[in-house]
Structure 1
Amino acid sequence: MKRKLALPLILALFCSVAPAQKITKAKASPAVAAFADSLANLRAAYYAYFRMWDDLDAPAPRVRRDPAYYKLFVPPTYYTAPVEQAFELKWSPEEYNTKHTAADSVYRAKQDSIRLFTVPDLERSAKVDRWVNKILLNYYMQYPERVLGNELYLADLKPLEDSQIVMNPRKEHIKSFLQPENPVESVDTESDLVIVRPNFWKYKGNGYAQFTQHYISDNWYKGGESTNSLLSGLVLEANFDDRQRLEFENKLEMKLGFVTAPSDTVHKYKTNADLFRLNSKLGVKAFKNWYYTLAAEFKTQFFANYKTNTNDMISNFMSPAQLDITLGMDFKQNKKNYTLSLLTSPLAYTFMYISNDKITDPAAFNVEPGHSTANLIGSKFTGNLTWTIIPSIVWESKLEYFTTYDKVIASWENTFNFVLNRYLSTKLFVHARYDDGVKLTEDNKSYFQLQELLSFGLNYTW
């Protein structure tokens, strides 16, 4: 009898315990457990990160805000993004519940190449947002009564203005290990106060002396003459620039060269380079690299020059003397390896003067015979370029084009300086000139003129 009663009692007890176990298991939802574990892991990661501050020898970690998880920490709010994501074509509730329930956690997203303390990018933010939407969707389904907020309520919120934000500065308690300096008891301001005015002037110069020797024996099969030449020059510059509106440039050039002339029975030496030139340019900035500019140039030579085997004087000191005055716009550009100046002058005036009445052909300088002066009015373009092609090769070029709308005077000077070291260099000078105001003769059948000179020797720049 007792055995018969024991079996029903055991069955009744088993039936009463089984529903309780099912209820208990139903309360422990895997999604809720995964969410709680993820928050715990995230909290542990932050605390482990902040414990780095306990070591004073270690560099202070940089803490930055991470707004990617803000939906999980604000009051429960209904967002449309989780629902829209749930109804995508590539996603279904059955697939989500069967495959992704256990992985629905922030910690899993962190392992999926999402770092907490790096600068976020768009790809990382999108990936985190999808994981957060899955967690929120589970929350909406299991606890709909707790979702009191709505995304529409946040649309009318406006950020605080700068006047409403109160900044609380941090108060740092730093122990000073430096002893303060002894206080100054008395200061004589009249004697100790020094005012340094800026110096807008810059000075530089270049000097050179170069020699060329060419020897040919008397029985050389092609003939020829032995020659020696000497070329020297000095360039001085003084430039003012207030770095705002005003620029004043000044440049003095002196060049003198001699060459032996064996075939000249009258003169033993002749000049092959003779120049004295002074340039001044005053510019007032208009805009960007453009300047209103008033420029003046004066040039002449030092010694007399004669025709071969005669005493006919071609030119001399102040014969000619040329003064150019121009008014226009100047474009300037200064780069690391070159400087450029392009001066366009719609109004230009040139004054020619011949002081020596022994000059045989004044017309070569646009001065009519029987006169000592000439006045030319027109327009002028001047371009100056200094280009450091490589540290050992420097190209200096000057192009001038002057026209009276009846005649043209153009000049293009090019100097190539091949620097061997600080004191030695080779110079190649090429000067082309065009003047259609000169009358053509049997000896002079072209308006185009050319001069070239190659020399080697000493060179010094400061």
Structure 2
Amino acid sequence: MICLGAVAQVSHPVSVRSDERPSMDKIQAYVDSLNALKDSVFTSKKPKIRREQRLRRNDMRLFLPLTYYGNVAEKLFTRDRNDNPILSELMHLYLARPDLVRGTDRMVQQQQTKLDDINAPIHHDPTLVEKVPETPVEPTTVPVEVMIKRPNFWTFNGDYALQFLQNYVSGNWYRGGESNYSALASLVMQANYNNKQKLKWENRLELKYGLQSSRSDSLHSFKSTEDLIRLTSKLGLQATKRWYYTVQFIGNTQFSRSYRSNDPKVYSAFVAPLNINLSIGMDYSVDWMNHRLKGNFHLAPLAYNMKYTRMLDLTRRLGIKDGNHFLHDFGSEFTVDLEWKMMESLTWKTRLYGYSTYKRTELEWENTFTFRFNRYISSRVFIYPRFDDGVRRDDHYAFWQLKEFASIGFQYSF
């Protein structure tokens, strides 16, 4: 008995799972035995039970995890000690193997489960699951070769055009007229700087030169029809998303002398005149109609204008006092530069320039309509009205001036 009790204390219980579920009678009998065991071990007032049942409960103490019960020593000195041999065995285990004692009856009472609250037995049906293969852990970082380029804030673009016009009229043409040939070459180059933060600098150089020959002019084999050198430079500091504080410079002159038919008088020449306008104001960037209309408005309440001529014979025509080469004045200025892509092959570029002082006003409106047949061939219509009340008044046109031409020829943009 002693050997059996010691083996029971050190051996772990083995549970055997059965697929067959117990009947309700067996479950009820098991619950009743647990209730009887609880009453015999933990309650002070024990019910009146038969001797065989009391012995059975004492036997169970020997096979449970070894616990020190205080009533074991007390009952060894009673008259019923001979009827309970299990008590002697428990006391022997307490003395011989104290290392097997796992707790006391007081500790068990503190951790006991209220068996009365269990209405139905708890069944555990564990299911076996196949071991899922572990997912390989990918590295959180992958080596990537990064090439860093120095940012380029400059953009360059340009437009080249060479237009020709030939008109032949026979000597007996019933409406009269004369044959003539004309050609027009133009070059527009732009270099713009924008650091995408606060600063931008726009530069545009426009070069135009046109020639015409006619039989009726006996003094000149060729005369210039279009002659322009113009540089526009604009430095802007961003104020808001669309507005910039801007300083603008505009300077223009021409390549060669200009004449009229059968007239030897020179009407203009290189640096005669030379116009320079320097203004301080604000720019508004335009990007409308789904990027089809782009450009800017420049409004300058303060502007300085200088007009110079190296030929004193032209001073009166240019509004400069006799004997002077320079004209200085201050006023206000505005410039509108827009480009509207009206259709896939039709583009309208317009430039409206105005300068005003208390004494005189200049207004120029340049309009260029370009119809592109393909990448290299295009046709142009140029309309250029101008108003200047600082020069001598004309008897027919007053202070208004007008230039217009139409041409077809080669054009290339990049």
- 1:441 CA drift (Å): 4.8
Provide Cα deviations, 1:253-281, integer angstroms capped at 9, x if missing partner.
00000011322211111000000011100
TM-score, structure 2 length as denominator? Answer: 0.64
- Please state how far the C-alpha of 1:222 moved relative to its aligned partner: 1.1
Question: Map of 1:374-393 to 2, 5 A cutoff?
Answer: 374-393=327-346
- Tell whether 2:226 aligns with 1:273: yes
In 2, the alpha carbon distance for the partners of 1:263 and 1:277 equals: 32
Specify which of 314, 319, 335 is matched with residue 272 of structure 2: 319
Q: 1:174 aligns with which of 125, 135, 156?
A: 135
Partners of 1:247 and 1:333 in 2: CA distance: 15
Give 1:300-379 correspondences, 5 Å limit.
300-335=253-288, 336-357=291-312, 360-379=313-332
- Offset of 1:366 from its aligned partner? 2.2
Confirm or deny: 8 A CA contact 1:250 1:281 kept in the other structure. yes
Q: Distance in 2 between matches of 1:195 and 1:293?
A: 33
Q: Which amino acid aligns with 1:204?
A: N
Question: Structure 1 residue 437 and structure 2 residue 390: aligned?
Answer: yes
Cα distance in 2 for partners of 1:198, 1:355 equals: 45
Are 1:447 and 2:399 an aligned pair?
yes
Write the letter of the residue equivalent to 1:347: L
2:413 maps to: 461
Give the whole-Å Cα distance in 2 for the aligned partners of 1:375 and 1:226.
44
Name the amino acid aligned to 1:401.
Answer: G
Provide, for residues 338-360 of structure 1, a one-character-per-residue CA deviation record: whole Å limited to 9, x for no partner: 21211110001111111134xx4
Q: Which amino acid aligns with 1:174?
A: T
Structure with greater strand share of residues: 2
User: In the aligned structure 1, how far is the partner of 2:182 from the partner of 2:165?
Assistant: 5
> Residue by residue, what CA displacement relative to the aligned partner does 1:119-144 show, whole Å, maximum 9, x if unpaired?
xxxxxxxxxxxxxxxxxxxxxxxxxx
Select the residue among 127, 137, 157 that pairs with 1:204: 157
SS at match of 2:316: helix
Judged with a 3 Å threshold, the aligned counterparts in structure 2 of structure 1 residues 320 and 176 are, in CA distance, closer, same or farther, namely same
Amino acid of the structure 2 residue aligned with 1:288 = K
Amino acid at match of 1:356: M
Give the Cα separation in 1 of the matches to 2:263 and 2:229.
25
Unmatched 5+ residue regions in structure 2? Answer: 1-132
If you compute each CA radius of gyration, which structure gives the higher value, 1 or 2?
Answer: 2
2:317 aligned counterpart, secondary structure: helix
Give the Å deviation of 1:362. 2.2
Mapped to 2, the partners of 1:445 and 1:203 lie a distance apart of: 41
Alignment coverage as a number of residue pairs: 279
Q: Which residue of 1 aligns with 2:238?
A: 285
Q: Distance in 1 between matches of 2:233 and 2:356?
A: 21
How far residue 327 of structure 1 moved from its aligned partner, in angstroms, is: 0.5
In structure 2, what residue type is equivalent to 1:383?
V
- Which SS does the other structure have where 2:310 is aligned? coil
Tell whether the 8 Å contact from 1:209 to 1:458 is kept in structure 2 after alignment: yes
Distance 1:425 1:173 in 2: 69
Tell me, in whole angstroms, the C-alpha distance in 2 between the residues paired with 1:212 and 1:224.
16
| Residue 197 (structure 1) shift | 1.5
The one of 355, 362, 370 equivalent to 1:409 is 362
1:239 aligns with 2:192: yes
* Cα pair 1:240 1:249 within 8 Å, conserved: yes
Deviations 1:217-266 (A, max 9, x none): 11111111111100001111000111111110000000000011322211
Tell me which residue corresponds to 2:203. Answer: 250
Q: Which of 219, 222, 225 is 2:175 aligned to?
A: 222
Q: Which amino acid letter does the alignment assign opposite residue 403 of structure 2?
A: Q
Q: Aligned-pair distance for 1:195? A: 3.9
Matched with 2:376 is 423
- CA gap of 1:225–1:205, structure 2 versus 1, over 3 A, is same
Tell me the percent identity. 37
Q: CA deviation at 1:300?
A: 0.4
Residues in 2 aligned to 1:248 and 1:260: alpha-carbon distance in whole angstroms: 41
Q: Does the CA contact (< 8 Å) of 1:361 and 1:369 recur in 2?
A: no
Q: Deviations over 1:96-135 (max 9, x none)?
A: xxxxxxxxxxxxxxxxxxxxxxxxxxxxxxxxxxxxxxxx
User: Hey, what's the Cα distance between the residues in 2 that align with 1:460 and 1:193?
Assistant: 38
Q: 1:26-45 maps to which residues of 2 (within 5 A)?
A: none
Segments of structure 1 that go 5 or more residues without pairing to the other structure are: 1-171, 185-191
Q: How does 1:8-87 map to 2 (within 5 A)?
A: none
Contact 2:305–2:328 (Cα < 8 Å) also in 1: yes
Q: What is the alpha-carbon distance in structure 1 between the residues aligned to residue 351 and residue 321 of structure 2? A: 28
Structure with greater proportional helix content: 1
* Superposition pairs of residues 28-177 of structure 1, within 5 angstroms: 174-175=135-136
